[in-house]
């Protein structure tokens, strides 16, 4: 099922949560809505579900205008942030709920068979008789997914699906959700504030800020070509260095970087920690090491460059760096945004 | 010994035990002692006398009807107060407590005046052949009044705190309003409903002040058990008074035990394995 | 810009069900709760202000008011002290039988006031445990103020404690332990740490306790002996007048207690705005969930 949002607007009292968002989601895609809190991502998801009504604009499911269809008739599966499992029903009863209340009548044995099937799909065979209070957070998450899938939704929506879980459970569930998606091929939209989660899982990532889409694309597109300083910073650690552009060249002290498409004047240069090479001497920006942080995969160096700007970069684990050391930084990659 | 950091246990516990012992336990023990001093045969003869049995019947039946009414009305009122916004809601919310705050004797004469055959409501019902005052119906009205707040006040906070996501989840799974109410909301309210139900029923069984004005107090017909105990006292038949009061006391204890059991059952899903 | 479009309907938001529910509950509420209040006012002032004033000024009525106030002035403070002691012992310490004590304190709440009255007769009455002893010493408890006070204390024993215990339970022991570790004495800790945190709940319990003491009928009617002008409290006086076919007088006396009820409700609402009277158990549970890794 293809989903299309056309100029969707939502206001709560006086707070404009979503400003005219337009978005196309192709059938069968797995799409992440990524943004900081207050960016409107959950509101958009709830409007797609029909848990909120848009104040303006339209939401289409395929060719059908779904803007005003109530949630119960919209045919979406929704997985809530805290799962919203019915605490007084067993796992199996939770999964069966949608089939029991459905207008299409199913026999008891039919429902039981389907519940078993879903329990197998989410790898919870044998836990059908437990109550939600008796299973772990990760298991609850999978029950919530099974319950949402039980009604054969046209679209699957997940609100911060891994937000309440421990880091290692989170990583496992992420891969597993991707497998389930590939198996079922159901159009899926999920909300997250965790960029790693979005990049790991999604076919396309939609980055939101203050109720607007700031960039959308494949993980490769948004990682390689962030279109704004906000996206650059939001996707990962980034250093900012102020510079001046003259005649298509940016000057950081003595160091010069090509800036062919920038107009003259002040500019911000953004560097990832892996975008520079450290060398004790030679060309580059002169820098003084302030601290070295050791991490499992390498060493993170905190340094001050000339002009006093603080900078973080990574070096391989065997590199000999010490605080107080002077050296040079060679910029391998950088992105320029207007200051 | 972290627990001994704070001072005052001997004093506060001493006061508490002395007070509870003197004010609560001693009188009840005296009552049980008095009732027990009757031989089993004598005790049984008193508590199973036709007049006593008739009083149980009218008390329990009226209490059941009143509680059933309050179950529906109290649930509806709690729902209306929590889920809907309308002018005067806060005043209605406050006034729900009136039956707790209004002395029972005052309620008794007010309800009697309203429902007497020449009263505001009684005169409207009389042409329909419905008599309220001085009939079992009057007892029910008085019981409805005095126990009205219980179910509202036990259900209301639970309904307020109900996670809206549960309802949304049920809606997203295609549940109709009635299906969601019956399968999701009602079961979640059940422990609170049971608590309110048993408080309401216990209060109705023991109510005295509001009832004696409106009941008519005809032996075998509109005489409640509490009144029968009172009448035996006035007749200086202390043993009969003790026996009948002990029936009320035992009933109250059984109600307490039953409530706790029912609530534990209703909440069994919160138990962790 | 277009104003906010309607919210998606929640369960029961349909206009018909909404109207039916609000209409029905308000209708029955008006019949059961509002009408009694109005009929009291109408009947009390039905014979004019003069008759009303005359009833109130009657010596028997004035004595009944005195008895009621005197009972409250003794029973409420004693009960408050007990409630504080019980709450302190139960919430600040663990001891064997703590849960049983909680149950016993709540007992009067589920027992018929008539049972309470009868029970007191068997302690202090002539045919009771201490009756002959008291008679010999010429001490009058029953059919006098002390009996009325004792019976009132029985029916209201849980009132203050049950407001304080859940709240103090939820607040835990950290503050008191901190104060004690800083060298504060027990009383000092109680008055400057514990009491300020529970004052509204305490007042709430006191207000409800007072309303019940002043309005108690069943238990008091057993132990008072109903002697006009001597051991009648206001509720008993109302019964007497009513059965004497002095309905206007009964309603005039009742109007005083009805006013007390209305004042109690107003005080209750005011205190609830300050956080008293909520079921802190629920609030505590919610807090716990937020504090832990929200699962």
The string of pLDDT tens digits covering residues B156-201 is 999 999 999 999 999 999 999 999 999 999 999 998 898 899 889 9
Q: Check residue B4 and give its pLDDT.
A: 57
Write out chain A residues lying below 8 Å of C7, CB-based.
Answer: 52-53
Chain B adjacent subunits, 3+ CB pairs under 8 A: A, C
Please classify residue C177 by burial: count the beta carbons closer than 10 Å to its beta carbon, then call 0-12 exposed, 13-18 middle and 19+ buried.
middle
- The first and second tokens of residue A319, run together, are 């590199």
Mean pLDDT of A78-87: 94
Tell me whether A152 touches chain B (CB under 8 Å).
no
The nearest alpha carbon in chain B to C155 belongs to B24
Together in a domain, C218 and C236: yes
Together in a domain, C245 and C110: yes
pLDDT grade, residue C5 (50/70/90)? low
Tell me whether A105 touches chain B (CB under 8 Å).
no
Please classify residue B50 by burial: count the beta carbons closer than 10 Å to its beta carbon, then call 0-12 exposed, 13-18 middle and 19+ buried.
exposed
Q: Do A55 and C294 touch (CB under 8 A)?
A: no
Tens digit of each residue's pLDDT, chain B (273 residues): 445 578 888 999 999 999 999 999 999 999 999 999 999 999 999 999 999 999 999 999 999 999 999 999 999 999 999 999 999 999 999 999 999 999 999 999 999 999 999 999 999 999 999 999 999 999 999 999 999 999 999 999 999 999 999 999 999 999 999 999 999 999 999 988 988 998 899 999 999 999 999 998 999 999 999 999 999 998 989 999 999 999 999 999 998 888 888 877 777 776 543
Q: How far apart are CA C207 and CA C197, in angstroms?
A: 18
Cβ contact C175:C42 at 8 Å = no
CA proximity to A153, closest of A49, A281, A300: A49
CA proximity to C208, closest of C158, C258, C168, C166: C158
Give the mutation candidate from A12, A53, A68, A84 for the C interface (greatest C CB count, under 10 A).
A53
What domain count does chain C have? 2
Mean pLDDT of C94-123: 92
Q: Do C1 and A55 touch (CB under 8 A)?
A: yes
**For C8, which of A52, A82, A137 is closest by C-beta distance?**
A52
The nearest alpha carbon in chain A to B181 belongs to A101
CATH homologous superfamily of B56-222 equals: MetI-like (1.10.3720.10)
Cβ contact B207:C113 at 8 Å = no
A85 pLDDT exceeds 90? Answer: yes
SS3 A324: coil
Give the mutation candidate from A48, A83, A97, A132 for the B interface (greatest B CB count, under 10 A).
A97
Q: How far apart are CA A210 and CA A53, in angstroms?
A: 19
**Which residue, C28, C45, C62, sits at the end of a domain?**
C45
- Fill in the DSSP letter of residue B3: G
- The first and second tokens of residue C218, run together, are 């069943």
C-alpha of B27 from chain center: 22
- How many beta-carbon pairs under 8 angstroms link A with B? 83
Q: Do A98 and B173 touch (CB under 8 A)?
A: yes
Please give the order of strands across the beta sheet that includes A204-209.
A76-79, A155-159, A187-192, A30-34, A204-209, A212-217
Q: Do C122 and B181 touch (CB under 8 A)?
A: no
Find the domain containing C26 and state its range.
Answer: 16-45
- How many beta-carbon pairs under 8 angstroms link B with C? 291
End-to-end CA distance of chain C: 39
Q: Check residue C91 and give its pLDDT.
A: 92
- From chain C residues 4-33, the ones with a CB under 8 A of any chain A CB are 4-9
**For C295, which of A13, A55, A137 is closest by C-beta distance?**
A137
Write out chain A residues lying below 8 Å of C5, CB-based.
Answer: 53-55
Q: How far apart are CA A82 and CA A32, in angstroms?
A: 18
Cβ contact A73:A21 at 8 Å = no
Q: How far apart are CA A192 and CA A178, in angstroms?
A: 15
Helix (H) and strand (E) counts in chain A: 9, 20
Together in a domain, C281 and C193: yes
Together in a domain, C152 and C172: yes
- The dihedrals phi and psi of C103, each to the nearest 5 degrees, come to -65, -45
Cβ contact B126:B191 at 8 Å = no
- Coarse DSSP helix, strand, coil percentages of chain C, rounded to the nearest 5 percent: 75, 0, 25
Together in a domain, C207 and C173: yes
Tell me whether C1 touches chain A (CB under 8 Å).
yes
Q: How far apart are CA B23 and CA C85, in angstroms?
A: 15
Write out chain B residues lying below 8 Å of A118, CB-based.
Answer: none
pTM comes to 0.90
Q: Check residue B271 and give its pLDDT.
A: 54
Q: How far apart are CA B104 and CA B207, in angstroms?
A: 9
Cβ contact B67:B148 at 8 Å = no
Chain A adjacent subunits, 3+ CB pairs under 8 A: B, C
Domains and CATH numbers, chain A: 3-233 (3.40.50.300), 237-338 (2.40.50.140)
The string of pLDDT tens digits covering residues C132-143 is 888 889 888 888
Token pair 């990962």: residue: A236
- Fill in the DSSP letter of residue B268: G
Q: How far apart are CA C112 and CA C223, in angstroms?
A: 14
Please classify residue B17 by burial: count the beta carbons closer than 10 Å to its beta carbon, then call 0-12 exposed, 13-18 middle and 19+ buried.
middle
- From chain C residues 1-40, the ones with a CB under 8 A of any chain B CB are 10-14, 17-18, 21-22, 24-26, 28-29, 31-37, 39-40
Write out chain A residues lying below 8 Å of B178, CB-based.
Answer: none
- Shortest alpha-carbon distance between residue B152 and chain C (Å): 12
Cα–Cα–Cα angle for C100, C101, C102, nearest 5°? 90
C37 pLDDT exceeds 90? Answer: yes
Tell me whether A147 touches chain B (CB under 8 Å).
yes
Together in a domain, C95 and C167: yes
Together in a domain, C107 and C250: yes
Give the residue ranges of DSSP H helices in B5-49. 9-19, 26-36, 40-47
Q: Check residue A165 and give its pLDDT.
A: 85
The nearest alpha carbon in chain C to A137 belongs to C295
Q: Do A164 and C294 touch (CB under 8 A)?
A: yes
Together in a domain, C38 and C148: no
In this structure, the number of other CB atoms found within 10 A of the CB of residue A193 comes to: 17
Write out chain B residues lying below 8 Å of C111, CB-based.
Answer: 28, 206, 248-249, 252
């Amino acid at each position: 099922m293809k989903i299309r949002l056309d100029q969707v607007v939502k206001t709560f009292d006086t707070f404009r949560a979503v400003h005219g968002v337009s978005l196309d989601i192709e059938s069968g895609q797995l799409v992440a809505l990524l943004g900081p809190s207050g960016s409107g991502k959950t509101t958009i998801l709830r409007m797609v579900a029909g848990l909120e009504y848009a104040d303006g604009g339209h939401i289409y499911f395929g060719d059908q205008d779904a803007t005003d269809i109530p949630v119960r008739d919209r045919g979406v599966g929704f997985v809530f942030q805290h799962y919203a499992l019915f605490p007084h029903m067993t796992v199996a009863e939770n999964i069966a709920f949608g089939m029991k209340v459905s207008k299409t009548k199913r026999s008891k044995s039919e429902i039981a068979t389907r519940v078993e099937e879903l329990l197998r799909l989410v790898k919870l065979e044998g836990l059908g008789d437990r109550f939600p209070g008796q299973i772990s957070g990760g298991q609850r998450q999978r029950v919530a997914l099974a319950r949402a899938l039980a009604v054969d939704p046209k679209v699957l929506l997940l609100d911060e699906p891994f937000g309440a879980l421990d880091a290692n459970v989170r990583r496992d569930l992420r891969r597993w959700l991707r497998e389930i998606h590939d198996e079922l091929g159901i159009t899926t939209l999920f909300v997250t504030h965790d960029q790693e989660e979005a990049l790991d899982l999604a076919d396309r990532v939609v980055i939101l800020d203050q109720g607007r889409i700031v960039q959308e694309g494949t993980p490769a597109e948004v990682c390689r070509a962030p279109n704004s300083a906000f996206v650059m910073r939001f996707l990962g650690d980034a250093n900012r260095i102020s510079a001046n552009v003259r005649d298509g060249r940016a000057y950081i002290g003595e160091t010069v970087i090509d800036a062919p498409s920038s107009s003259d004047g002040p500019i911000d240069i953004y560097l990832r920690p892996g975008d520079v090479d450290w060398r004790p001497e030679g060309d580059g920006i002169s820098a003084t090491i302030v601290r070295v942080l050791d991490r499992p995969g390498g060493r993170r160096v905190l340094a001050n460059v000339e002009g006093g700007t603080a900078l973080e970069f990574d070096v391989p684990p065997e590199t000999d760096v010490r605080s107080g050391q002077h050296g040079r930084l060679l910029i391998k990659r950088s992105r320029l945004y207007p200051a | 010994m972290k627990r001994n950091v704070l001072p005052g246990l001997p004093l506060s516990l001493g006061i508490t035990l002395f007070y509870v012992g003197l004010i609560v336990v001693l009188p009840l023990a005296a009552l049980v002692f008095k009732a027990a001093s009757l031989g089993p045969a004598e005790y049984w003869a008193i508590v199973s006398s036709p007049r006593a049995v008739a009083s149980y019947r009218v008390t329990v039946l009226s209490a059941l009807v009143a509680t059933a009414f309050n179950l529906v009305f109290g649930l509806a009122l709690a729902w209306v107060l929590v889920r809907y916004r309308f002018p005067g809601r806060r005043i209605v919310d406050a006034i729900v407590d009136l039956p707790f705050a209004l002395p029972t004797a005052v309620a008794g004469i007010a309800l009697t005046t309203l429902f007497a055959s020449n009263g505001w409501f009684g005169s409207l019902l009389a042409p329909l052949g419905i008599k309220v005052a001085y009939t079992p119906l009057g007892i029910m009205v008085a019981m409805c009044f005095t126990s009205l707040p219980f179910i509202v006040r036990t259900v209301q906070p639970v309904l307020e705190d109900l996670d809206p996501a549960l309802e949304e989840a049920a809606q997203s799974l295609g549940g109709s309003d009635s299906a969601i109410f019956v399968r999701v909301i009602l079961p979640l309210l059940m422990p609170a409903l049971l608590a309110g139900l048993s408080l309401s029923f216990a209060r109705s069984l023991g109510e005295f002040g509001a009832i004696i004005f409106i009941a008519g107090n005809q032996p075998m017909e509109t005489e409640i058990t509490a009144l029968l105990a009172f009448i035996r006292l006035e007749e200086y038949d202390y043993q009969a008074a003790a026996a009948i009061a002990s029936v009320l006391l035992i009933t109250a204890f059984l109600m307490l035990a039953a409530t706790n059991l029912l609530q534990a059952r209703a909440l069994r899903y919160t138990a962790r394995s | 810009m277009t104003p906010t479009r309607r919210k998606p309907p929640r369960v029961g938001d349909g206009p018909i069900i909404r109207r039916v529910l609000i209409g029905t509950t308000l209708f029955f509420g008006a019949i059961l709760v509002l009408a009694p209040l109005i009929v009291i006012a109408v009947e009390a002032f039905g014979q004019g202000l003069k008759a009303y004033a005359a009833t109130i000024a009657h010596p028997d009525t004035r004595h009944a008011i005195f008895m009621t106030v005197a009972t409250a002035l003794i029973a409420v403070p004693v009960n408050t002290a007990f409630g504080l002691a019980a709450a302190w012992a139960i919430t600040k310490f663990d001891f064997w039988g703590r849960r049983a004590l909680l149950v016993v304190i709540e007992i009067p709440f589920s027992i018929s006031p008539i049972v309470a009255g009868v029970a007191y007769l068997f302690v202090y009455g002539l045919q009771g445990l201490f009756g002959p002893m008291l008679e010999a010493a010429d001490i009058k408890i029953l059919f006098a103020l002390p009996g009325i006070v004792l019976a009132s204390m029985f029916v209201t024993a849980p009132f203050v404690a049950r407001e304080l215990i859940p709240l103090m339970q939820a607040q835990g022991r950290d503050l008191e332990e901190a104060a004690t570790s800083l060298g504060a004495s027990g009383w000092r800790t109680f008055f400057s740490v514990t009491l300020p945190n529970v004052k509204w709940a305490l007042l709430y319990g006191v207000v409800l306790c007072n309303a019940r003491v002043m309005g108690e009928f069943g238990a008091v009617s057993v132990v008072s002996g109903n002697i006009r002008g001597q051991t009648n409290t206001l509720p008993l006086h109302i019964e007497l007048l009513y059965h004497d076919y002095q309905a206007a007088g009964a309603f005039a006396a009742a109007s005083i207690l009805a006013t007390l009820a209305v004042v109690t409700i107003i005080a209750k609402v005011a205190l609830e705005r300050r956080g008293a009277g909520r079921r802190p158990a629920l609030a505590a549970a919610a807090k716990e969930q937020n504090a832990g890794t929200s699962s």
